[in-house]
Amino acid sequence: MMENGGYQGQYGDDGGYMEQEEEWEREGLLDPAWEKQQKKTFTAWCNSHLRKAGTAIENIEDDFRNGLKLMLLLEVISGETLPKPDRGKMRFHKIANVNKALDFIASKGVKLVSIGAEEIVDGNLKMTLGMIWTIILRFAIQDISVEEMTAKEGLLLWCQRKTAPYKNVNVQNFHLSFKDGLAFCALIHRHRPDLIDYSKLSKDNPLENLNTAFDVAEKYLDIPRMLDPDDLINTPKPDERAIMTYVSCYYHAFQGAQQAETAANRICKVLKVNQENERLMEEYERLASDLLEWIRRTMPWLNSRQSDSTLAGVQKKLEEYRTYRRKHKPPRVEQKAKLETNFNTLQTKLRLSNRPAYMPTEGKVVSDITNSWKGLEHAEKAFEEWLLAETMRLERLEHLAQKFKHKADTHEDWTKGKEEMLQSQDYRNCKLNELKALKKKHEAFESDLAAHQDRVEQIAAIAQELNTLEYHDCASVNARCQRICDQWDRLGALTQRRRQGLDEAERILEKIDLLHLEFAKRAAPFNNWLDGAREDLVDMFIVHTMEEIQGLIQAHDQFKATLGEADKEFNVIIGLVRDAEAIVKQEQVPGGLVNPYTTLTSDLISRKWSEVRALVPQRDQTLANELRKQQNNEMLRRQFAEKANAVGPWIERQMDAVTAIGMGISGSLEEQLHRLKEYEQAVYAYKPSIEELEKIHQAVQESMIFENRYTHYTMETLRVGWEQLLTSINRNINEVENQILTRDSKGITQEQLTEFRSSFNHFDKNRTGRLAPEEFKSCLVSLGYSIGKDKQGDMDFQRILAVVDPNASGYVQFDAFLDFMTRESTDTDTAEQVIDSFRILASDKPYILPDELRRELPPDQAEYCIQRMPPYKGPNAIPGALDYMSFSTALYGESDL
């Protein structure tokens, strides 16, 4: 950088603008002929770029005064966006805009001295030309370098080499050497011999030579006229800045053609990687969509809680669920493992090709699939629990429904004829003894009626419980219960009415047959006890444990202990009948054998007593059968527990071993992969044990066994453990394969990889497979990575964290750590390299056309670009123009395209 101003660097001392008036004179900026040439050339150069934005300038000293077109010019030639200009027309608005342009130039490493915004706003031609020359140097000439020479020397050497074979051309400078026009013609002929016939040119016709070169350049090379042939010929020493500016346009025009092939090759390489990655992404999307769709279709079935409310219907659903677990779900477990494996492989390839991490479409990321899978497993558990609970509920309902029917049948048998009997007026025509008998009979009936109150209440209670448990045929149960209750109310009312009638007639009829009355009194409760005993002996029951059946057996034994007292009561009752028969026979009482107080007879009591004694051994047999069933259930519990207590620890041991291998504690990656595959074979070989356990579990469920005190393992926990073991093996195999892929593609040695793994494991104290930020920093330091303890060191570390933990999860996985340690020293493509390659194919335009892509790239890759590049919306866009900058940055995840 020169001390007094202007721009110096690759161009050298010839590029400076001096503050002193004498220096301006010496440099030629005050020479009228040079000033005219510069003004024309610089104006044409600016317009060659401004036309891309659809505008132009006419007077270079006037059209840049408000700073708007100056800022636009810088945006076009740099491809960057400047701050928003001030739109006011006051002088301070113009100065602010020019200062924004000058600040942008300074930000590119150019030190501007003696060029101020006020001079540009005031239309100072010399300062304006000096500023434009600075811009030309920075953006058109600075980067020209041949054999490490400065920009001016490099451009001169390039001209000398290209024109060396041509006679009458000897390029030694940028003023006299180009004056006769042959040097311009030679540069064109060297690169495009089809445009000029050099053999017909003569050194004696400089005006014709210059016009020929300038016309051809403007028509075929898109280089506008920047020089006036008459000015060059009539000026003893043409202005070299004007000529350098014009010649630099030739350099860029022809240099692009030489770079096109290199650029095309780079683009092809990048696109090939991207096409393969997109194929893997599409495969992931397909597998994810299929798995998520299967889960979506399955969830309504698992979440359904509808049944036909019958035990057979629920048992059918339970069998369907077992079929689903045995046949339908295992392939989906394998599909999920394959999906995760493919996703990890894709991410590894993206890292190796310096591409951004793949983000699946919304709802299909690995966490979404994991959450959906967890939801599926929760739904499975809830569905199985519901099925078992529903089975128990319906079994209970069936038992209650049978009990309701039995009690209702018994009650309705008892009530048959009762209403007709209570409505009878027979006592009106009775003798005294008959009336007394009728009254005693009615008292016995009232006693019997009161005894039946409990049965009616039991029937109503059972009906209420059936309603509470939502029995499927509640309507008929409720209707029958209502009929019984209504009839019971009628019986009560009729009983009261008949008693009133008997009391009315009691004044006339007093004598009562005490013997028949005693029989009725004792026979009625005994008969009721017999009915209750019969009900208890035929009562159905449901038990699930040994304790419950043993409790029933104990209760039955207690009942049998009461049979002795019952037998005594039976003999007393039968004795009353025999006594009555003896008295009737002895006293010859007319109709005395008919007991007017009860419908019970000794024959009925004897028959029911015989039935009760016959039911006792039958009950013994039923309880014995149930005891054997519970003993068999106990055996099934022990069988399941014995197998589960072996399978559970085996799965846990395998899981621990796989986790240890996954930590890479010992052995090469190939050895780890070999051991993991051995474990995989061993796990699949162990599968028959799981299947055998499933069979035992099915037998346990079919036997309605709902608890097992001999083991803490359940079939559900073992299934989950088995699936987690398979998933862990597959995931670790995939991770090791990815590490091998990383190691081989990055060219790192096994010793380096071992060192990386050893350092990582040293700081991974809890063996979680990940490091916290401070652990990660310590790990880097242990490997010799320098991280300062000052503010700059913290900033450097935060940049590293942003690379290895882009999602800010707070942890660093080993794959990301390994990728960071290896990719630092590798040569990878960047978005800037791809943009530069496309810019070469586009002849330095900010956009590219489909025909240019088809001309430079293979057909499939050309169409790939055309289909994915967005339309170019910048200034001076033409129909069909494509935005290669956004496309390139999108390849590397640097835009939202």
Tell whether the model's pLDDT for residue 294 goes beyond 90.
yes
Instruction: Tell whether 636 and 740 lie within a shared domain.
Output: yes
pLDDT of residue 829: 65
Q: Provide φ and ψ at 622, rounded to 5°.
A: -60, -45
- Distance between CA 886 and CA 881 in Å, rounded? 13
**What pLDDT, in 10s, does the model give residues 66-121?**
888 899 999 988 888 889 998 888 888 889 999 998 998 888 887 777 788 888 88
Compute the average pLDDT of residues 553-568. 83
pLDDT of residue 896 exceeding 70: no
Residues 136 and 115 in one domain: yes
Note the pLDDT of residue 871.
Answer: 93
Q: Can you tell me the distance from the alpha carbon of 610 to that of 591, in angstroms, rounded to the nearest whole number?
A: 29
Highest mean pLDDT among 123-132, 518-527, 540-549: 123-132
Range in 10-14, 400-404, 493-497, 816-820 the model is least confident about: 10-14
Mean pLDDT of 40-47: 91
Does residue 758 have a pLDDT over 90?
Answer: no
Task: Using pLDDT thresholds of 50, 70 and 90, give the confidence band for residue 181.
Answer: very high
pLDDT, position 380: 86
Tell me the HSE value of 244 on the side-chain side, using a 13 A CA sphere: 25
Residue 173, in any domain of the structure: no
Contacts 24+ apart (CB under 8 A), 240-243: 240/14, 240/173, 240/174, 240/175, 241/28, 241/34, 241/38, 241/41, 241/133, 241/136, 242/34, 242/37, 242/38, 242/40, 242/41, 242/42, 243/174, 243/175, 243/178
pLDDT tens-digit readout, 450-465: 888 888 888 899 888 8
Percent of the chain surpassing pLDDT 90: 11
523 is a domain residue: no
Are 708 and 852 in a shared domain?
Answer: no
pLDDT of residue 24: 40
The winner for highest mean pLDDT among 248-262, 351-365, 732-746, 863-877 is 863-877
Shared domain check, 701 and 564: yes
- Span 859-873, mean pLDDT? 90
**pLDDT more than 70, % of the chain:** 89
Burial class (CB within 10 angstroms; exposed 0-12, middle 13-18, buried 19+) of 879: exposed
Lowest mean pLDDT segment, chosen from 456-460, 553-557, 891-895: 891-895
Handedness of CA 118, 122, 125, 126 (dihedral sign): negative
441 in the same domain as 587: no
- Residue at 411 is within a domain: no
The predicted model gives 801-805 an average pLDDT of 84
Among candidate residues 653, 637, 634, 655, the one with its CA nearest the CA of residue 715: 637
In this prediction, residue 505 carries a pLDDT of 54
Residue 512 — very low, low, confident or very high, per pLDDT cuts 50/70/90?
A: very low
pLDDT of residue 311 exceeding 70, the answer is: yes
Q: Are residues 660 and 705 in the same domain?
A: yes
Range 546-565 average pLDDT: 81
Number of domains in the chain: 6
668 with 793, same domain: the answer is no
Evaluate if residue 302 carries a pLDDT over 90: no
Instruction: Pick the last residue of a domain from 824, 847, 868.
Output: 824
Does the pLDDT of residue 300 top 90, yes or no? yes
Give the pLDDT score at 259: 64
Question: In this structure, is residue 244 part of a structural domain?
Answer: no
pLDDT at 502: 72
Residue 542 has pLDDT above 70, yes or no: yes
Least confident of 478-492, 553-567, 586-600: 586-600
Is residue 272 within 8 Å of residue 859, measured between CB atoms?
A: no
How far apart CA 408 and CA 402 sit, in angstroms, is 10
Q: Report if residue 462 sits inside a domain.
A: yes
One domain, residues 385 and 430 = no
698/601 same-domain check: yes
Given 824, 840, 867, which residue is the final one in a domain? Answer: 824
Q: What is the CA radius of gyration of the chain?
A: 53
Q: Could you tell me if 332 and 433 lie in one domain?
A: no
pLDDT (0 to 100) of residue 15: 40
| pLDDT, mean of residues 508-533 | 73
State the CATH number of the domain containing residue 809: 1.10.238.10
Residue 159: inside a domain, yes or no? no
- The CA distance from 737 to 750, in Å, is 14
- 566 φ, ψ (degrees, to nearest 5): -65, -35
Q: Is residue 416 part of a domain?
A: no
Q: pTM for the whole thing?
A: 0.45
Judge residue 562's burial from the number of C-beta atoms within 10 Å of its C-beta, 0-12 exposed, 13-18 middle, 19 or more buried: exposed
Contacts 24+ apart (CB under 8 A), 24-31: 24/126, 28/239, 28/241, 29/126, 29/129, 29/130, 30/126, 31/239
What CATH number has the domain bearing residue 492?
Answer: 1.20.58.60
* Residue 810: domain span: 748-824
CB 59 within 8 A of CB 121: no
φ and ψ at residue 416, rounded to 5 degrees: -60, 125
What is the number of residues in the chain?
A: 897
Show which of 90, 121, 141 is a domain's final residue: 141
SS (H, E, C) 464-527: HHHHHCCCCCHHHHHHHHHHHHHHHHHHHHHHHHHHHHHHHHHCCCCCCCHHHHHHHHHHHHHH
Contact 773, 847 (CB under 8 A): no
Residue 540, pLDDT score: 76
CATH number, domain containing residue 103: 1.10.418.10
Check whether residue 536 and residue 564 sit in a common domain.
Answer: yes
Question: What SS3 state is found at 382?
Answer: helix
**Band of pLDDT at residue 485, cut at 50, 70 and 90:** very high
Residue 497 lies in a domain: yes
- Output the pLDDT for position 182: 94
DSSP code for 666: S
- Quote the distance between the C-alpha of residue 741 and its chain's center: 26
Instruction: Say whether 866 sits in a helix, a strand or coil.
Output: helix
**Mean pLDDT on 490-507:** 77
Verify that 704 and 732 share a domain, yes or no. Answer: yes
